[in-house]
Amino acid sequence: EAGVAQSPRYKIIEKRQSVAFWCNPISGHATLYWYQQILGQGPKLLIQFQNNGVVDDSQLPKDRFSAERLKGVDSTLKIQPAKLEDSAVYLCASSLDLGGLTDTQYFGPGTRLTVL
Amino acid sequence: AQKVTQAQTEISVVEKEDVTLDCVYETRDTTYYLFWYKQPPSGELVFLIRRNSFDEQNEISGRYSWNFQKSTSSFNFTITASQVVDSAVYFCALSRYGGSQGNLIFGKGTKLSVKP
């Protein structure tokens, strides 16, 4: 079974530029998550989708970050404009929808963003 | 509020030594899940184990074992006869019970170095 796919793996941009990350979850997984992992810390949730609807985006800096999952499968996360403090690894995870029960999240390899 | 504390920032052992990684959590929920993930240098978070709050039975899986004690809010992880391939950052995580609240709260991680 294929795992969670993410691209690109690495991205270097100047501050104030825009960047987009892509995620393809495990086939059949209805729930998709984007996490931000700053160096030396644990991942922090940015946004959670259930199919193509947003479940939780309370920690997403909405003035510069946006995310979508239009067809309930792939998702993109965008930063516009980027700041130095956005340098981090962006992790995508997915899980099955167990009808209200918590299921295990499986993570992709991440995208390492460096903002200069 | 939910919180996960991993007091050990870095641990260094020699191959074949046993090593225990500590995890203490805080939550007001009566039902919740606890997880351990491994993050090797490649960056991908690898799921190791999940335990729900009403199952305090400890488990052994090969060289890995887990000790869940609700009375002390601890969920410790032990590697027996460590190997160089065990070198990674290990994260303990907590989630609420319920699909729409499945957001993982991570500790800051413990970096384990196993030297030959």
First to last CA, chain B: 41
Q: How much is the pLDDT for A107?
A: 93
Hey, are the CB atoms on A103 and B102 less than 8 Å from each other? Answer: yes
Residues of chain B with pLDDT below 50 are none
In sequence order, what are the beta bridge partners of A94?
A: A32, A106
Q: How far is B30 from chain A (nearest CA, A)?
A: 14
Q: Which residue has the higher pLDDT, A111 or B30?
A: A111
Q: How much is the pLDDT for B103?
A: 79
List of chain B residues whose C-beta atoms are within 8 Å of the C-beta of residue A104: 35, 47, 50
Q: How much is the pLDDT for B1?
A: 81
Q: How much is the pLDDT for B101?
A: 54
pLDDT at A43 over 60: yes
Q: Give mean pLDDT, residues A58-63.
A: 93
Q: How much is the pLDDT for B39?
A: 95
pLDDT at A101 over 70: no
Q: How much is the pLDDT for A1?
A: 67
Q: How much is the pLDDT for B59?
A: 77
The residue written with tokens 């965008």 in the block is A78
d(CA A50, CA A69): 9
Q: How much is the pLDDT for A11?
A: 97
Instruction: Please name which of A84, A79, A108, A72 lies closest in space to residue A18, comparing C-alpha atoms.
Output: A79
Q: Give mean pLDDT, residues A14-37.
A: 95
In sequence order, what are the beta bridge partners of A9?
A: none
